[in-house]
């Protein structure tokens, strides 16, 4: 059976750096940090980390009616908004499509934590009869895919992957495979996350994974820097419109890039820590390269997982060296971490970062890793410190995403050349 080629035709990012493709990309290229002091959590419940890439001005009523807003958690609202932005960007008229050929692969790592907290307080303070009848639909993770499918009448394959911080990268990979097999013509692919809630922040802070650079929020997320002290939470979502190449050409779509590789592996090592030698991540990258039919030397740019944790950044550096060898150590391979600006969107991170890779290809720009002023000697690759590189050659880009539990995912995007 002939495999369908799969292309990206619509981008819908939502983050503290910017909403919509143009605003988001301008913020990334200019090195704008979205990290600020947390406002959503009451002061008495804020842990040692009091900062996050929080979206102060997100208004769900721009994307859904009042009734739907009341029945959805914030993470679902992000998914809905991102899906509508992606459709608009793709210029798809879904009313003219066969709904059974339109599918959804949109996930979340944590689901509706704010709804869990809110309804728990109702339970304890007012009793079980006062809990909302929408409690369960507000908190369960698969409602990202459920709501997106209902709003867009997408009746094709429908799935919700949950692989911690690799969630939305796996969602893109799954959607890619569905189209490649001929099971759908169009897929919504991505993820969303609303983790700036007291319980989530407290849990991560207790595990000592969050930065406590509270006095300088914009400088707190500093991947690969010697002085990094943990990651910074972020929130938002991202949805990509994927289409079979034949479908995209038939409707005259603008093609941003082609997806050619998807590598997925497990560390089988630890519930939180990555393999110190980066072997699991390295295998995911090698699989993606093999599927793409390209050599390591052909990759121009990697958007690193780059969370700004002491162990994670070192392990990823080792993994990249293992796979790319002299191409990486000679600094020919450009790498950066957009989490230095967006914070870590957990389950939405992979999709946001896939958009960064795609826009890098579109505009031939290498985005920066901001706050990289004192490189860690163990992180000695070309991590594009502080300033974007314009007029670069970016024909092939890789996006890396790694999650708690040892989930590793690498995606490869290529410039579409017919």
Mean pLDDT of 139-167: 97
Instruction: Round to whole Å and give the CA distance between 36 and 223.
Output: 17
**What are the backbone dihedrals phi and psi of residue 349, each rounded to the nearest 5 degrees, phi first?**
-60, -45
pLDDT at position 274, please? Answer: 87
What confidence tier does 418 reach under pLDDT thresholds 50, 70, 90?
A: confident
pLDDT at position 333, please? Answer: 98
What's the full length of the chain, in residues? Answer: 418
- Work out the percent of the chain whose per-residue pLDDT is above 70: 100
Strands 257-266 and 6-15: antiparallel
The continuous run of DSSP H or E covering 213 comes out as none
pLDDT at position 306, please? Answer: 98
Q: Express each pLDDT in 8-42 by its tens digit.
A: 999 999 999 999 999 999 999 999 999 999 999 99
What confidence tier does 1 reach under pLDDT thresholds 50, 70, 90?
A: low
Q: Which residues are catalytic?
A: 165, 305, 344
Mean pLDDT of 231-251: 98
Torsion angle in degrees (nearest 10) through CA of 57, 60, 61, 62: 70
Query: Domains along the chain?
Result: 7-250 (3.40.47.10), 262-414 (3.40.47.10)
Whether the CB-CB separation of 277 and 270 falls below 8 Å is answered with no
Q: Please check the confidence at residue 171 and state whether its pLDDT lies above 90.
A: yes
Q: Express each pLDDT in 290-340 by its tens digit.
A: 999 999 999 999 999 999 999 999 999 999 999 999 999 999 999 999 999
Instruction: Round to whole Å and give the CA distance between 304 and 111.
Output: 24
- Choose among 203, 69, 81: nearest CA to 138: 69
pLDDT at position 133, please? Answer: 94
Q: Please check the confidence at residue 276 and state whether its pLDDT lies above 90.
A: no
Instruction: Round to whole Å and give the CA distance between 319 and 298.
Output: 17
Concatenate the DSSP letters of all residues of 108-162 into one string.
-SS--HHHHHHHHHHHHHH-GGGS-TTHHHHH-TTHHHHHHHHHHT--S-EE---
pLDDT at position 275, please? Answer: 87
Q: Please check the confidence at residue 351 and state whether its pLDDT lies above 80.
A: yes
- C-alpha distances (whole Å) from 119 to each of 43, 73, 82 are 20, 12, 26
Q: Express each pLDDT in 61-106 by its tens digit.
A: 999 999 999 999 999 999 999 999 999 999 999 999 999 999 999 9
Q: Express each pLDDT in 373-390 by its tens digit.
A: 999 999 999 999 999 999
pLDDT at position 332, please? Answer: 97
Mean per-residue pLDDT of the chain: 97
Vertex 411, ends 98 and 273: CA angle to 5°? 125
Instruction: Round to whole Å and give the CA distance between 311 and 228.
Output: 10
Q: Express each pLDDT in 96-118 by its tens digit.
A: 999 999 999 999 999 999 999 99
Mean pLDDT of 148-158: 98
- C-alpha distances (whole Å) from 97 to each of 154, 251, 324 are 9, 11, 42
| Residues whose CB is less than 8 angstroms from the CB of residue 165 and which lie 6 or more positions away in sequence, other chains included | 109, 305, 307, 344, 346, 347, 349, 350, 401, 402, 403, 404, 407
Q: Express each pLDDT in 117-137 by its tens digit.
A: 999 999 999 999 999 999 999
**What are the backbone dihedrals phi and psi of residue 28, each rounded to the nearest 5 degrees, phi first?**
-65, -50
- Choose among 278, 350, 354, 275: nearest CA to 319: 278
Whether the CB-CB separation of 152 and 83 falls below 8 Å is answered with yes
Instruction: Round to whole Å and give the CA distance between 20 and 210.
Output: 27
């Amino acid at each position: 059976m002939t495999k369908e080629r799969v292309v990206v035709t619509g981008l819908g990012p939502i983050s503290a750096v910017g909403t919509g493709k143009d605003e988001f990309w301008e913020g990334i290229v200019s090195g704008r940090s979205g990290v600020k002091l947390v406002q959503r959590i009451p002061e008495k419940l804020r842990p040692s980390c009091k900062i996050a890439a929080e979206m102060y001005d997100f208004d769900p009523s721009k994307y859904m009616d009042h009734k739907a807003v009341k029945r959805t958690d914030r993470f679902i609202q992000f998914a809905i908004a991102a899906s509508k932005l992606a459709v608009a960007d793709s210029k798809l008229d879904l009313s003219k499509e066969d709904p059974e050929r339109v599918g959804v692969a949109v996930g979340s790592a944590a689901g509706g934590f704010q709804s869990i907290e809110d309804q728990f307080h109702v339970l304890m303070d007012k009793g079980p009869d006062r809990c909302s009848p929408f409690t369960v639909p507000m908190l369960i993770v698969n409602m990202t895919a459920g709501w997106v499918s209902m709003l867009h009448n997408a009746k094709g394959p429908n799935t919700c992957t949950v692989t911690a911080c690799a969630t939305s990268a796996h969602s893109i990979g799954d959607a890619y495979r569905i189209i490649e097999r001929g099971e759908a013509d169009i897929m919504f692919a991505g993820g969303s996350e609303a983790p700036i809630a007291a319980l989530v922040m407290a849990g991560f802070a207790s595990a000592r994974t969050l930065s406590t650079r509270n006095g300088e929020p914009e400088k707190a997320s500093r991947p690969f820097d010697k002085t990094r002290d943990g990651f910074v939470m972020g929130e938002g979502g991202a949805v990509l419109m994927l289409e079979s190449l034949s479908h995209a050409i038939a409707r005259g779509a603008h093609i941003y890039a082609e997806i050619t590789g998807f590598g997925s592996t497990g560390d089988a090592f630890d519930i939180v820590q990555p393999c110190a030698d980066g072997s699991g991540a390295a295998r995911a990258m090698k699989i993606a390269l093999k599927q793409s039919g390209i050599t390591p030397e052909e990759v121009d740019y990697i958007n690193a997982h780059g969370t700004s944790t002491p162990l994670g950044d070192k392990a990823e550096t080792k993994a990249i060296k293992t796979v790319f060898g002299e191409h990486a150590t000679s600094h020919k391979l450009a790498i950066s971490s957009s989490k230095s600006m967006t914070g870590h969107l957990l389950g939405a991170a992979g999709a946001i970062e896939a958009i960064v890779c795609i826009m890098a290809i579109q505009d031939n720009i290498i985005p920066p890793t901001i706050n990289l002023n004192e490189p860690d000697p163990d992180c000695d690759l070309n991590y594009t410190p502080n300033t974007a590189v314009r007029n670069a050659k970016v024909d092939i880009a890789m996006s890396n995403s790694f999650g708690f539990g040892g989930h590793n995912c690498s995606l490869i995007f290529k410039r579409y050349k017919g």
